[in-house]
Amino acid sequence: MRKNLFMKRSLVFLLFLPLVLFFSCGGKTTTRPIKPKYKFTINGVVVKDLSLGKDIAYFTILRDSVLFDSAVVKVGSDTLKSKGGGVYSKETSHPSQLFGFGNAVTITVSSAKDSFTLESNVVIPGSFQIIAKVPDTVYSHTVNVALQFSAASNASGYFISVLKRNNTEGTLGHTALIPWDKIGNYPIPNTTFRDIHDNYKTGIYLIYLIAYNKSFLAYPDMRFQLPGGNISGANGTIGAGVVASEDSIKAK
C-alpha cells in the first residue's frame, strides 16, 4: 500500500516538474502590454466671421507635445478634416453655415486607439453690429472716437482691433479688450492714428469688433489682431466668437 502511495506521489511530482520548468525557465517573462497614457492638448475656435463672410472651425491637437494627425474632430454633425501638422479645420462661405447665431455647439475630439474622448460645449454669440462712429472722420487734434455698437447675447467678452489699411508706415493702431462699462460705447484713442514717433498718419483705418464665448484663438486668414495673444490661455482652450461686419474710419 505504501509502495503504491509512494509511486503515485512520485508520478504527480514528475508531471508537475515539467510545468514548473515550462513557466520558470528560458529567461523570458511575459506580461500583458499596458497602453501608455498620453496627454492631449487641444486648442480650437468656432467663428462666424462676417468680415470674411465665412463660418470657420479651426483646431490644433498635440499628443504629448507632438503634433497629432490621427484624431477624429466633430463640430456638431460636421467632421473636420486633418490638414496635417496637427491642424483640423472646416469652413463655409455665407449664406451656407456651420452654425447659427446663438447656437449651442458640441465639440468632440477622440482617438480610438488611445481610448481618448473629449467633449466640450460652447455657444455662438448672438448677432451684433457697429452702429456709429462719433465723429466719423478724425483729425490730428481729435481726442478719441466714440464707437457705438449693439450687444451680443451669450458673449463672455468683447475686443476691438483697429488697423490702418495697407499699413507701411508703422502706424500703431489699437487692439484691446473692451471693459464691461464701455460695452456699447467704446472710446478709440487718438494714438491709434499715430506711429511710434507720435506722427499723425492720415488714411483709412479698418475697425474689427469681436464678441467671444469662453475664449478666442487665431485662425488662418484672420484680418485683425488679438489683444496680447490668445484669450483665456493658449494651452487647452476651446471657444467661440462672432466677428462683426468690418467698418472703417478716415483720418485726415
Convert the pLDDT of each residue in 52-100 to its tens digit.
Answer: 999 999 999 999 999 999 999 999 999 999 999 999 999 999 999 999 9
pLDDT digits (tens, 9 = 90+) for 187-231: 999 999 999 999 999 999 999 999 999 999 999 999 999 998 677
Which of the listed CATH numbers 2.60.40, 1.10.10, 3.10.590, 3.30.70 matches domain 40-123?
A: 2.60.40
Distances (CA, A) of 244 to 23, 90, 204, 224: 71, 20, 18, 12
**Portion of the chain with pLDDT greater than 90, in percent:** 79
Confidence of residue 20 (pLDDT cuts 50, 70, 90): very low
Stronger pLDDT, 105 or 26, i.e. the higher one? 105
What are the boundaries of each domain within the chain?
Answer: 40-123, 130-251
Structural class in CATH, domain 130-251:
mainly beta
Confidence of residue 23 (pLDDT cuts 50, 70, 90): very low
Same fold, 40-123 and 130-251: yes
pTM, 2 dp: 0.83
- The candidate with the shortest Cα–Cα distance to 49, out of 88, 92, 78, is 92
Confidence of residue 29 (pLDDT cuts 50, 70, 90): very low
Helix (H) or strand (E) holding 3: helix 2-24
